[in-house]
A and B are shown apart, each in its own frame.
Chain A
Amino acid sequence: MIIRGDEPEQIRLIKKLYKPGNYFMQGNEALSYGALFAGCRFYAGYPITPSSEIAETMARELPKLGGYYLQMEDEIGSIAAMVGASWTGFKVMTATAGPGFSLMQENLGYAVMTETPLVLVDVQRSGPSTGQATKGAQGDFFQARWGTHGDHPIVALSPTSGQDAFWEVIRAFNIAERLRTPVVVLFDGVLAHTRELVKIPDVEEVEITYRKLPANEEEAKLPFGDPHGDGVPPMPLFGHGYFTHVTGSTHKENGLRDVYTPEVHDKLVRRIHRKIEQNRHVYEKYEEHFTDDAEILVVSWGVTARPALGAVLKAREEGIKAGLFVPKTVHPFPGERMRELGKKVRAVLVAEMNLGQMIIEVERYLNDDVLLKGVNKIGGVPLTVEEILREIRGVA
């Protein structure tokens, strides 16, 4: 069984095509190159602003690497095709924005239930509905978490720059493969279209993970078992004579449907949760600035983390003990670290381009004696350093 994209030939091609060095490029392009370096060789998508440059870059670059770009008839078909391709051994990705992300939700749940590795990039734009289609936003924080139905875990990452997108999408693929699960990348329209310096590394500097394949016939016969105790079943790929049965309905370890036995559902869904919980070390990531002695903590994510850092630096110049906490894996939320930081500070400001979403997560980890305040802005224009600084001064 092979995972496409891990042949030595691929390293040769990447080396030949993408010279290490500094480039001036859009966030969307940087993210696409990250996917190519991570081994993505199958992309199925449907164009939508502000994600379309990802599709365009993949359509241009994938064939060079022997990979496949498919423009499907809609987003539902796109994620469906990705799941099909993933079961044949491809590392797969799609990119979309709010409305398309909504359409993908049913099959995102299918990917969770069937433990299919895939990477879904949501370049967030202003909503609800078609809102301001061309403007950036951070309004899909909870759509990523709770968009599909049922009890399910999800892993979602959120990069803060084009350079960061390059590396975070690689991390998304590694997590998806390691935990046999879909991973959402919450990018945003502002970063997607910002051109900035992006350093492309040598491909050999990039650490790449591949899904666990069955070690023997027995493991292959239990595509939803847990032979290694880490909650992650080895994945028998289609086309190798294992007669694997995959269904989104509740199934036993051998894949066969059983929707009547409460214990079967309980065991399956709890294991899918447990594999995410118990492997926190695989995906948990956050950034901290000046948190050692901070009295006022700014929490921010994605695009807003950048003006937030600017505001914290300015506040420090003014003698205000401000710090910054940036969850890079936003789901599951780095709650333990948030709780620790919350104990040390007097006030917490949550800055985001929405009317208050991550703040709901933050609040769960704070004691009542901490002043909690949202710094929110909608309308398609990012928060500025000045706007966040003003709020820091306000609680100083």
Chain B
Amino acid sequence: MAKEIYSKYPLIKYLRKEALPTALCPGCGGGTVLNAFANAVDQLKIDPKDLVVVSGIGCSAWIASPYFLADTLHTTHGRAIAFATGVKVGLPDKKVVVISGDGDLASIGGNHLIHAARRNIDITVILVNNFIYGMTGGQVAPTTPFGAKTTTSPYRNIEHPLQISETVAAAGASYVARWTTAHVYQLIESIKKALQVKGFSLVEVISQCPVQFGRRNQMKEPAEMLRWYLKNSVPISKAKNMSPEELEGKFVIGEFVNRERPEFVTELNKLIDEVQEHFGLKGESDGV
């Protein structure tokens, strides 16, 4: 009973039609992220044959895998970046992109996230931060706002959320930006930049999960969540002059870093070259 798919959407060519319609709930921010990613790929004229998309486990992991028509590697929970590291070493000329959730990439996968940033390996990570574990039924996440309600913090969350973009920027990434699903054009621009940067890039997208998060926190309509994002977003330039108290509960958005640093796979190949040179292993005939 395959449902009819509206094929006029011009970017449908980037999607794996046999996998549609998506499993995401109506109103989920995941659709916006997929759309933004497809737009970025289209605007940059990246041939999907030159893309490998890797994801972990969670609703957000489904955004590009299986829906995006490229080589896609859907991995274990938390490990997408580590899998992607092996892919990037094998295919240094391809764009290796990880799209997954905040629980996946920053909780169970937090170690891989900061170490990939430290290594500055040329992988683009689109981290979908919906403040919750959506797929497993709305449990508290390391990004859940202080005081928010979830199925495992039914009274209120007493833990402080991890500031992912700040952490990854500090760990050494080449490019870090944070937007919300209410900032679609900025988001597309940032994904484009991230895809072009030679080094580790992270685009954190604050994205609505009306079903698991919104419903339990007086925002069961997607639009209410988008209004919440707009009302509380603070550009990074302005945030610099604000006190921690003033920033409580706000979403700092914008570009956190955009810098050049030696990239891991490039350095690895340079090292191999040097070693082969040093041991006289280069070139053809050497009397063997």
Bound pair (A, B):
yes
Give the B-binding residues of A (Cβ under 8 A).
Answer: 4, 12-13, 15-17, 42, 44, 63-64, 66-68, 70, 72-74, 76-78, 80-90, 92, 106-107, 110, 238-249, 254, 256-257
Contacts A64-B275, A76-B82; A245 near B76 (Cβ below 8 A): no
Chain A, Cβ-Cβ closest to B118: A73
Q: How far is the CB of B23 from chain A (nearest CB, A)?
A: 10
Q: How far is the CB of B171 from chain A (nearest CB, A)?
A: 12
Chain B, Cβ-Cβ closest to A66: B272
Q: Which residues of B contact A110 (CB under 8 A)?
A: 75-76
Q: Which residues of B contact A107 (CB under 8 A)?
A: 76, 79
Q: Which residues of A contact B76 (CB under 8 A)?
A: 80, 106-107, 110, 248
The 5 closest A-B pairs by CB, nearest first: A88-B90, A84-B86, A85-B86, A80-B82, A77-B82
Chain B, Cβ-Cβ closest to A246: B73
Chain A, Cβ-Cβ closest to B114: A73
B150 within 8 A of A: no
Known pairs A13-B281, A42-B89, A44-B85; list 16 more (Cβ under 8 Å).
A44-B86, A64-B275, A64-B281, A70-B85, A70-B89, A76-B78, A77-B111, A85-B86, A85-B89, A86-B86, A89-B90, A238-B52, A243-B48, A243-B72, A245-B71, A246-B73
- The CA-CA distance from A183 to B88 in the complex, in Å, is 23
Q: Which residues of B contact A87 (CB under 8 A)?
A: 71, 73, 86-87, 90
**Contact in complex: A66, B86 (CB < 8 Å):** no
B19 within 8 A of A: yes
**Contact in complex: A84, B69 (CB < 8 Å):** no
B70 within 8 A of A: yes
Q: Which residues of A contact B48 (CB under 8 A)?
A: 243
B135 within 8 A of A: no
Q: Which residues of A contact B94 (CB under 8 A)?
A: 238-239
Interface mask (B265-279 → A, CB under 8 Å = 1, otherwise 0) = 000100110011001
Contacts A17-B281, A239-B91; A81 near B16 (Cβ below 8 A): no
- The CA-CA distance from A15 to B111 in the complex, in Å, is 40
- The CA-CA distance from A97 to B78 in the complex, in Å, is 22
Q: How far is the CB of A68 from chain B (nearest CB, A)?
A: 5
Most B CB within 10 A of own CB, among A64, A88, A107, A245: A245
Residue among B75, B90, B112 making CB contact with A73, cutoff 8 Å: B112
Q: Which residues of B contact A88 (CB under 8 A)?
A: 86-87, 89-91
Q: How far is the CB of B173 from chain A (nearest CB, A)?
A: 15
Most A CB within 10 A of own CB, among B52, B73, B86: B86
Q: Which residues of B contact A17 (CB under 8 A)?
A: 279, 281
**Contact in complex: B71, A243 (CB < 8 Å):** yes
- Mostly, the A contact residues are mixed
- The CA-CA distance from A255 to B72 in the complex, in Å, is 10
Q: List 23 A-B contacts (CB under 8 A).
A: A15-B288, A42-B89, A44-B86, A76-B78, A76-B79, A78-B82, A80-B82, A80-B86, A81-B82, A84-B89, A85-B86, A87-B86, A238-B90, A241-B49, A243-B69, A243-B70, A245-B65, A245-B72, A246-B74, A247-B66, A248-B74, A254-B18, A257-B66
**Contact in complex: B83, A84 (CB < 8 Å):** yes
- The CA-CA distance from A90 to B86 in the complex, in Å, is 10
Interface mask (B88-99 → A, CB under 8 Å = 1, otherwise 0) = 111100100000
Q: Which residues of A contact B216 (CB under 8 A)?
A: none
Most A CB within 10 A of own CB, among B85, B268, B275: B85
**Contact in complex: B85, A84 (CB < 8 Å):** yes
Residue among B16, B276, B279, B281 making CB contact with A243, cutoff 8 Å: B16
B84 within 8 A of A: yes
Q: How far is the CB of B221 from chain A (nearest CB, A)?
A: 30
B contacts with A, residue count (CB < 8 A): 42
Q: How far is the CB of B265 from chain A (nearest CB, A)?
A: 9
**CB neighbors of A among B5-56 (8 A):** 16, 18-19, 48-49, 52, 54
B245 within 8 A of A: no
- The CA-CA distance from A82 to B85 in the complex, in Å, is 9
**Contact in complex: A256, B73 (CB < 8 Å):** no
- The CA-CA distance from A15 to B84 in the complex, in Å, is 33
- The CA-CA distance from A85 to B89 in the complex, in Å, is 7
Q: How far is the CB of A149 from chain B (nearest CB, A)?
A: 12
B246 within 8 A of A: no
**Contact in complex: A84, B87 (CB < 8 Å):** yes
Q: How far is the CB of A37 from chain B (nearest CB, A)?
A: 16
Contacts A64-B276, A73-B115, A243-B48; A249 near B89 (Cβ below 8 A): no
Q: How far is the CB of A79 from chain B (nearest CB, A)?
A: 8
- The CA-CA distance from A40 to B74 in the complex, in Å, is 25
B286 within 8 A of A: yes
**Contact in complex: A239, B275 (CB < 8 Å):** no
- The CA-CA distance from A86 to B85 in the complex, in Å, is 12
Chain A, Cβ-Cβ closest to B115: A73
Chain A, Cβ-Cβ closest to B88: A84
**CB neighbors of A among B97-124 (8 A):** 111-112, 115
Contacts A63-B272, A77-B111; A245 near B16 (Cβ below 8 A): yes
Q: How far is the CB of A253 from chain B (nearest CB, A)?
A: 13
Q: Which residues of B contact A13 (CB under 8 A)?
A: 281
**Contact in complex: B85, A90 (CB < 8 Å):** no
**Contact in complex: A83, B268 (CB < 8 Å):** no
- The CA-CA distance from A241 to B78 in the complex, in Å, is 27
**Contact in complex: A83, B83 (CB < 8 Å):** yes
Q: Which residues of B contact A4 (CB under 8 A)?
A: 90
Q: How far is the CB of A223 from chain B (nearest CB, A)?
A: 10
- The CA-CA distance from A15 to B287 in the complex, in Å, is 11
Residue among B91, B271, B279, B286 making CB contact with A238, cutoff 8 Å: B91
- The CA-CA distance from A87 to B71 in the complex, in Å, is 10
Q: Which residues of A contact B49 (CB under 8 A)?
A: 240-241, 243
Chain A, Cβ-Cβ closest to B73: A246
Contacts A63-B275, A66-B272, A238-B52; A256 near B19 (Cβ below 8 A): yes
Contacts A64-B281, A66-B276, A74-B111; A81 near B71 (Cβ below 8 A): no
- The CA-CA distance from A249 to B75 in the complex, in Å, is 9
